[in-house]
Structure 1
Amino acid sequence: MVRVTDARLRAGAEVAEYLEEVLTAGARLGVLSDHPLTFVEVVEVSEVTSIRIPSGRLIVDSPWTDEEPRELKERISPGVYRVDAAWVEAPHEFMGEYVSGRECAAIRLCVRDAPVVGWEMGLAVGDDIERLQKGQEVGFETDTAMGCFSDAVAWSALTAPFRSFREACESREPGTFVSRDTAGLCDGYFERSPDESHGADLLTFVANEGRTVVWLGRTDSGSVASIVVVPHLDMLA
């Protein structure tokens, strides 16, 4: 039997349908908001990399945050987890040129290989569900359009390259190039920051500017199978 979650966290029918479709190659998600005759289609769902979460405590937040990072209440087993990306395309003409409209439309941390039967918003440590109104969204906030999956215990070490980069940018001479000590993946859509002292990783991904909801996909037993983020919802009409 499906675990009954709090109605304030449960995804509505439209959102649940989108979460299923965006992770299905070949699915049509809708049309572009500024090109109503152009369909947005999922052309590929593929593995980006695997990341190490040795503590079982997962942060999903911006690596640039100056606040206490948003650690999920939901714990996962310590281990190595595959991260998938769903890629969409919406071919159209823009300023006289053809563009593919390729974007990363969903990022999934694969917790276990089991069917998802329901979706809910992921609460963070310290969130008070009693203060949450039905229809209100919870998630992490960022003005950099970047989020990440990260081991919580190793957070300080894993985000060090971002702090160092920001400090270097603030003190650099005009015209000086500053690089970031991370590994770019998928043509720069993702960045990986490892820390061998903890045996842990951080992986960045594209997020919404403002609030980004973290969705937990649960199995019929109530366990979490997927942790998913879906940016670029505003591209659809």
Structure 2
Amino acid sequence: MEWPGDARLAAGPEAVRYLEAAFTPGAQLGTVYDDPSTPVMVTGVERTTTIRIPSGRLIVDAPWHDEIFDYRNGSPTSPPRELAVRIPPGTYPVEIAWTAGPYEFMGEHFDGIACAATRIRLSDEPVAGWEMGLGIHDAVDRLQPGEQVQFYSDANVGCFADAEAWPTLVAPFRTFVDGRPVPRDSEQLPYGCERLSDETLQADLVTFAAESGGVVWLGRTRSGAVATIVVSSGNSDAEA
């Protein structure tokens, strides 16, 4: 039986084009900002680490956020954005799509290397359709035509994390002494990403670049199974 989809959540044509091109090396993702003659090309897809999601419940959010965090008592003031969709418990690769769009600024030349998107790859099955990944507190009936729901990040950092282990995994991001963050005991990954682990629950949190936050997209197979979960980084200079 084929997955019917939900038109209210379906990605529009531009989003589909971006999502399908972002993880296709050699594809053109757009053009350099303010320079339509220079293409932004996908240069590769790199596996940065793996993430354990034993509960099958996934949070995609900022590990800290000025609007939802009370620095006076070191506690969040609203819950993290847990996705409504459930995934099979397991260990999955986390991958980053890279682009290059050369540009000149104040007489200097730059290669324009940027992260276009980050994903958790759940399976190798082909994606038949894309839809927004709603949070458990989002109401699909309240969506306006063309509206995109997303998480926000003042620090330009997002993360994937197991929901059950969230309190332990996020605590190092929310620990302060005299108003200063305490150094985190985390695994330092390439390109400024981090991986924190809860060995009691065998679960992880992995950070990624997310300028101001981002929309979570679910890539579904013909049967409706989720094959991949993608967040656009928002810091590419590409203009679709």
TM-score between the two structures when normalised by the length of structure 1: 0.90
State yes or no: 1:153 paired with 2:164.
yes
State yes or no: 1:206 paired with 2:206.
no
Over residues 70-91 of structure 1, what are the superposed CA-to-partner deviations in whole Å (9 max), with x where a residue is unaligned?
Answer: 1011101111011111011112
In structure 1, the gaps of 5 or more residues are: 173-177
Alignment match of 2:110 (pick from 72, 93, 99)? 99
Whether the 8 Å CA contact 1:118–1:218 is kept in 2: the answer is yes
User: Tell me, what secondary structure is at the counterpart of 1:80?
Assistant: strand
User: Tell me, what secondary structure is at the counterpart of 1:76?
Assistant: coil
- Tell me which residue corresponds to 1:231: 233
Over residues 153-194 of structure 1, what are the superposed CA-to-partner deviations in whole Å (9 max), with x where a residue is unaligned?
Answer: 000100111012xx136158xxxxx63322221131x11111
Whether the 8 Å CA contact 1:42–1:89 is kept in 2: the answer is yes
Distance in 1 separating the partners of 2:235 and 2:140: 25
- Tell me which residue corresponds to 2:15: 15
State yes or no: 1:221 paired with 2:232.
no
Q: How many residues align?
A: 228
Whether the 8 Å CA contact 1:33–1:234 is kept in 2: the answer is no
Change (3 A) 1:169 1:33: farther
In structure 2, the gaps of 5 or more residues are: 66-75
- Tell me which residue corresponds to 1:78: 89
State yes or no: 1:192 paired with 2:195.
yes
User: Tell me, what secondary structure is at the counterpart of 1:14?
Assistant: helix
- Tell me which residue corresponds to 1:175: none
Distance in 1 separating the partners of 2:236 and 2:202: 37
Whether the 8 Å CA contact 1:63–1:147 is kept in 2: the answer is yes
Moved more, 99-108 or 148-157: 99-108
Distance in 2 separating the partners of 1:195 and 1:6: 36
State yes or no: 1:52 paired with 2:52.
yes
TM-score between the two structures when normalised by the length of structure 2: 0.89
